[in-house]
Amino acid sequence: MTATLHTAPVTVPDTTDQRVVRRRLGPGHRIRFSFWFGPTLALAIWSIGSATGLIKPAILSAPWDVVVAFQDQWVNHDLLGNIVASLQRSLVGLTLGVVTGAVLAVISGLSRFGESLIDGPIQIKRSVPTLAIIPLFIAWFGIGEEMKVITIALISLVPIYIHTHNGLRGIDGKYAELAETIGINHGEFVRHVVLPGALPGFLLGMRFAVTSSLLGLVVVEHYNAVAGIGYMITLAEQYGQTDVIVVGLVIYGIFGYCADSAVRFTGRRVLAWRQTLEG
C-alpha cells in the first residue's frame, strides 16, 4: 500500500443533487402577497372592461369615477364620519355577539344542563333569518342605535356559538382525563384545556361572524340612519349616483377583507402549535 491512500484527492466539489422527489399533494409553501392576487385581478378586469366600454357606466361606474366620487364624498360629505359610524356600530355589535356566543358555547359545551337550555333555542334562532326579526326588534327597541347593535350582535352570535361549540366538543377526551388525574379545578380546566382546544373552532366562527356583522350592518343602516355607509348608499340610491353606491360597496368589501385577514393572521399566530397544511 502507498501513502497516498489517506490523502484526499483534489477534485471539484460534487454538487450533483440527485434525489427522488414525490409529487406534492398539499398546497406547498406560502406565497408572499398571495392574498392580493385575486382582488388585483378583479380590479384589472373591471378597469379593462370600463376602459374598453364593455362595462357601461350605467351598469357599473369605472374605477377612476369611483375614485373621484370617493374624493368628493370624503371632502364634501364627511365620508370619514360615515365610515367611523359604521365601524363603531359593527364593532360594538360584533363584540357583543362574539362574547355572548363564546360564553354560551362554553356553558353549553361543558354542561349537559346548559346544553339542554341553550342549544335548542340557538338552533331554532339559527333557522329564523335574523333579518326577518328586525321588524319585531324595531317594535321592541325602536329604530335607534340599540336595535341596530342588537341585530348585529345576534347575527354574529350564531356562527361563533356553532363553531366554538363544535371545536370544544371535538377536543380529545383523553386531555380531560389527564386534567382529572392532575387534579385541577373547573376554572383551570376551562382556561388551560377547553379554551385553547376550542380556539381553532372559535377562529373559524370569527371569520363567519365578521362577515355576518357586515351583512347585519348593511341591513340595519337602511333603517333611519343619519350616518354610516348604509346611509350613504341609501341617499345615493335616491339620487341615482351609481358611483357613490360603488364607493360604499368597495368600503364594505375593504372592511370585510381587512377583518378576515386580521382573523386569519391572528389564527396563524395563536395556532403555532398546530402542524397543518395551512403552513
Partner 1 sequence: MATDARGLTTEPAVRVRNLHRSFNSDGGVLNGLDLDIAPGEFVALIGRSGTGKSTLLRALAGLDRDVAGHGRIQVPESVSVVFQDSRLLPWKRVLDNVVFGLRGAGAADRGRKALAEVGLAGRERAWPYQLSGGEQQRASLARSLVREPQLLLADEPFGALDALTRIRMHALLRRLCETHRPAVLLVTHDVDEAIVLADRVILLDAGVVDTDVRVELTNRSRSDAGFAELRSLLLDRLGVAADA
SS3 state at 100: helix
The residue (of 190 and 219) whose beta carbon lies closer to partner 1 is 190
Q: Dihedral, CA atoms, 263, 268, 269, 273, nearest 10 degrees?
A: 140
- CA pseudo-torsion sign 125, 127, 128, 129: positive
Backbone angles phi, psi at 86, to 5 degrees: -65, -45
Contacts of 59-68 spanning 24+ positions with Cβ under 8 A: 60/242, 60/246, 61/242, 61/243, 61/246, 65/243, 66/243, 66/246, 66/247, 66/250, 68/243
In the numeric block, which cell numbers belong to residue 148?
A: 341596530
The residue (of 87 and 184) whose beta carbon lies closer to partner 1 is 184
In the chain, how long is the greatest CA-to-CA distance?
104
Query: Which residue carries 371545536 as its cell?
Result: 167
Provide the binding-site residues for partner 1, judged by CB under 8 A: 174-175, 177-184, 188, 192-193, 196-197, 199, 272-275
Neighbour count for residue 3 (Cβ, 10 Å): 6
In the numeric block, which cell numbers belong to residue 258?
A: 381587512
- CA pseudo-torsion sign 181, 182, 187, 189: negative
Contact 79, 233 (CB under 8 A): no
Q: Is 185 exposed, middle or buried (0-12, 13-18, 19+ CB in 10 A)?
A: exposed
In the numeric block, which cell numbers belong to residue 81?
A: 364620519
**Integer Cα distance of 197 and 176 in angstroms:** 11
